Amino acid sequence: MLLKEGEIRIPSGCAISGLISRDGNRINGGEIVKSISYMHDRSNGLGGGFAGYGIYPEYKDYYAFHVFYNTNEARERTERFLDRHFDVINLSRIPTKKIPAIKNEPLIWRYFVNPLPTKIASSQLDEKEFVAKCVIRINNDIDGAYIFSSGKNMGVFKAVGFPEDVGEFYRLDEYDGYAWTSHGRYPTNTPGWWGGAHPFALLDYTIVHNGEISSYDANRRFIEMYGYKCTLLTDTEVITYIFDWLNRKQELSLEDIASIIAAPFWSEIEGYEKSEPEKAAKLKYFRNSFSSLLITGPFSIILGYTGGIMALNDRLKLRSMVVAEKKDVVYIASEECAIRAICPDCGNVWSPRGGEPVIINLSEEGKRKCL
Amino acid sequence: MPVNFFPAEFEVVRNADKCIKCRACERQCSNEVHYYDADYDKMLSKDSSCVDCQRCVCLCPTGALKIRPNENAFRKSANYTQQLMIENYRQAGTGAVLLSSMGTPKDYPIYWDKILINASQVTNPSIDPLREPMETKVFLGKKPSGIKKNPDGSINTEMTPYLELNTPIMFSAMSYGSISKNAHESLARAATELGTYYNTGEGGLHKDFYKYGPNTIVQVASGRFGVFKDYLDAGAAIEIKMGQGAKPGIGGHLPGAKIREDVSKTRMIPMGTDAISPAPHHDIYSIEDLRQLIFSLKEASEYKKPVIVKIAAVHNVAAIASGIARSGADIIAIDGFRGGTGAAPTRIRDNVGIPIELALAAVDQRLRDEGIRNEVSIVAAGSVRSASDCVKAIALGADAVYIATPTLLAMGCHLCRSCHAGKCNWGIATQRPDLVKRLNPDVGAQRLVNLVHAWDHEIKEIMGGMGINSVESLRGNRLMLRGIGLSQKELDILGILHAGE
């Protein structure tokens, strides 16, 4: 019997692509669909997905939950849970377009919600933690319900299929955002389940990832000590939780997180001991304290978050990834063709070194417009 | 003439054509097996004294010698084996507890040999350690539970005291007394050169070896032999020995014959007296007492050194380890029941305790379930026999391993399991000056360095095959392991899948 994603660990190869307008100009979703479609051969039709930031300006103060349901019963149970814990401002089916390439879709719903202040107070958690706990609880406890997007003014769209078909299915050309990431998946066997497609998201963090990390179980068993439960058994899931823990909970900067998960080699750290002893001490501290969060094996990831995106390769750079710019827009993709497809005259094309984070945040103007 | 109830265990086979009667074997054998008969102009042997240490075989210039098991056989019984019958004869003759040395020779499951390691194919590249950096540096000690910031917003990078190892392999405790000064010197010098640590065992630290202090773990055991301020100050870490895998629940006994002048001084006990470590520490009758000893030692060493608590792997090892992790220890060393010993009651060595593989897996999982795995590092000991055993131990959850028997092999030991007799022909487990000098510490140290280098290379090769380029990504990475021929219960305890899953 074929096991569902989460019951078995499925390695995947992949394509990733992302872009951001630093000045907060809104970019149509059709652009990212076009970009990823040029890497068609890096996917095999068993998963594609997108994350858009700044796509719900009219609801930007509410958490947008995107949910897959297998049955109406699961939907009713989930909605009862949401009613108990949240103020639901708006709910609807996510608009989709029937196309032959995308089949067997689950029920796909969207909710704009805010947690009830009384519930937050009695939980003794901060708001984000409360929301994250509710999402994890629904995903674990309600059979047939799966919240695959849960941040504010952003959303994940994913399915089993080629990414360009997934984009058409979700009518992404009807959305505009200041940043987009996308993913085409090449799993080595059939996950058969939409939840297994990428991006993986928790709150406003989303990860698209190309690679297969060899440190997976070391990372998983460490992060699970801190209240996370890796139910999908995918790299993307565990990497998202690592970012959530280090960035949201430990309040480490993205640069520092890069030097934990793609830590410099000892030979490099020793080189800093004389020239930059404080830097060497910090890097050694990170490698000692958070050794179980070092990620080895090939990966190229794009992390999306409110106000920016970050790209990172494993420290040996075992996966291709290029970056390019034009005016205020920065493009990142597995292959340069995916960038040239939407920006033929882009400049400053370069390949970041292994372990070198590329962090692009909204400019002050962009923040004023979008946040 | 008294009846000899059992025959010699070994038979010395001498090829008369090859033997040149040089009498080297006679000079080499502390058990006085070989002798020259002038009347017959022939080398003869007293087989019943032979322990099969292979010294004469290795030293015979013409290769004339062979030691083989005596083929004389009692009537076969699967229940009353010949070994068991001989032990009963022996006890009927002496009225004494049977003594043994080194790890149990009994045929218990060796889980290392029922675990297989993964490698990359297609979806993920393997990494060639000859071309890419491959890291085996390890830190042992408490890790912070989260980031602490300084008032200026920068990250507070202070750590509690820790050990830094260039390779995840340390030399396990063997006391001066149970092994020779030259053996200790070999270990100390090798640990220094390798950037790892050796362990004094419970016999104190010889004054000549204080200079190796930065690579020394000083042990505090129930007998407190040789423990005083300078000793605690000398080491890089302090280990409280609560138990030993080969003899859980009992203390130690070093016969007076081994307590010669230097051992006596180092242990701080009179010459010729037996050195008896009590079964329990008489100031530790419960977990809260252990906490007091941990903090007494930390106070005495001004909180500058990590404290290791070493326990034998017993049935409820996970709960015990959890208690220790909450008691201020920085490192827990777990010693499995197949581990070695200089002397242990045979019945205890062969029947008490549990295998390190199961104990390690249970402890690592329990500490994670309780969210306190960061409070301590785990060192696995008790029959880690090769680089692949190291890799498996680390993937099950160990931060590092302790090895002892392989270090003895490196120095020449042939596992004759007669350490308790004190007549080690290889100059290791003896205090007889004429035997001790057979072990040259220059050679011993070099061979130990070679051994660990070889293992470290192998660990790197295996890691590279898995696509892992740093040992911390191997630690607790149980997905890299599969069981072969194990029951579901065993797999559940080890926390691994079966091969093919």
Average pLDDT, consecutive stretches of 10 residues, N- to C-terminus, chain A (371 residues): 69 88 97 96 90 97 97 97 96 96 94 96 95 94 95 96 96 97 83 83 95 94 93 90 96 96 96 95 96 95 97 94 96 96 95 96 96 88
Any CB–CB contact under 8 A between B161 and chain A?
no
Identify whether B39 is part of a domain: yes
Identify whether B160 is part of a domain: no
**What total number of domains does chain B contain?**
2
Identify whether A265 is part of a domain: no
**Chain B residues 427-456 within an 8 A CB cutoff of chain A:** none
* CATH, residue B292: 3.20.20.70
Identify whether B101 is part of a domain: no
Identify whether B286 is part of a domain: yes
First to last CA, chain A: 47
Range of the domain at B272: 115-145+171-498
Per-residue pLDDT band for B2 (boundaries 50, 70, 90) equals: confident
Identify whether B382 is part of a domain: yes
Any CB–CB contact under 8 A between A217 and chain B?
yes
> Would you state the pLDDT for residue A1?
53
How far apart are the C-alpha atoms of B186 and B436, rounded to whole Å?
Answer: 12
Identify whether B156 is part of a domain: no
Looking at the partner chain, which of A218, A288, A296 has a beta carbon nearest the beta carbon of B162?
A288
Helix B387-396 and helix B356-369, axial crossing angle in degrees, nearest 10 = 30
How far apart are the C-alpha atoms of A214 and A299, rounded to whole Å?
Answer: 10
Q: Do A11 and B469 touch (CB under 8 A)?
A: no
DSSP label at B485?
A: S
Identify whether A326 is part of a domain: yes
Same domain, B27 and B126: no
> Would you state the pLDDT for residue A190?
59
Which chain B residues are within 8 Å of A285, Cβ to Cβ? 155, 157, 159
Same domain, B90 and B124: no
Question: Could you tell me how many CB contacts below 8 A there are between chain A and chain B?
Answer: 109
Q: Do B479 and A216 touch (CB under 8 A)?
A: yes
Active-site positions of A read 14
Residue B1 has pLDDT above 80, yes or no: no
> Would you state the pLDDT for residue A189?
64
Identify whether B249 is part of a domain: yes
> Would you state the pLDDT for residue A290?
96
DSSP label at B149?
A: B
| B333 and B381 Cβ atoms separated by less than 8 Å | yes
Same domain, B248 and B395: yes
Any CB–CB contact under 8 A between B477 and chain A?
yes
| Cα four-point dihedral sign B271, B273, B274, B276 | negative
| A153 and A176 Cβ atoms separated by less than 8 Å | no
Q: Do B373 and A225 touch (CB under 8 A)?
A: yes
> Would you state the pLDDT for residue A22?
97
Same domain, B129 and B77: no
Which chain B residues are within 8 Å of A282, Cβ to Cβ? 155, 157
Same domain, B326 and B409: yes
> Would you state the pLDDT for residue B140?
98
Which chain A residues are within 8 Å of B480, Cβ to Cβ? 214, 217
Sequence-ordered alpha helix ranges (H) in A206-276: 216-223, 235-243, 254-261, 266-275
**What total number of domains does chain A contain?**
1
| A54 and A153 Cβ atoms separated by less than 8 Å | yes
SS3 A75: helix
Same domain, B86 and B131: no
| Cα four-point dihedral sign B178, B180, B183, B187 | positive
Which chain A residues are within 8 Å of B474, Cβ to Cβ? 215, 218
Same domain, B452 and B492: yes
Cα A319 to chain center, whole Å?
18
Same domain, B125 and B85: no
Cα B341 to chain center, whole Å?
8
For an interface test with B, the pick among A266, A296, A318, A320 (most B C-beta atoms closer than 10 Å) comes out as A296
Same domain, B127 and B67: no
Which chain B residues are within 8 Å of A251, Cβ to Cβ? 147, 149
Same domain, B46 and B125: no
* CATH, residue B88: 3.30.70.20
Per-residue pLDDT band for B123 (boundaries 50, 70, 90) equals: confident
Looking at the partner chain, which of A216, A218, A249 has a beta carbon nearest the beta carbon of B475?
A218
* Strand segments (E) across B288-346: 307-312, 331-335, 344-345
How far apart are the C-alpha atoms of A186 and A367, rounded to whole Å?
Answer: 35
Identify whether B271 is part of a domain: yes
**Chain A residues 241-300 within an 8 A CB cutoff of chain B:** 249-252, 256, 263, 265-267, 281-282, 284-285, 287-292, 294-298
Same domain, B193 and B74: no
* CATH, residue A164: 3.60.20.10
Average pLDDT value for chain B:
96
Q: In terms of CA atoms, which chain B residue is nearest residue A256?
A: B155
Q: In terms of CA atoms, which chain A residue is nearest residue B465?
A: A214
How far apart are the C-alpha atoms of A371 and B358, rounded to whole Å?
Answer: 53
Same domain, B397 and B254: yes
Range of the domain at A174: 15-55+153-214+237-243+300-370
- Provide the ipTM: 0.91
Any CB–CB contact under 8 A between B393 and chain A?
no
Identify whether A332 is part of a domain: yes
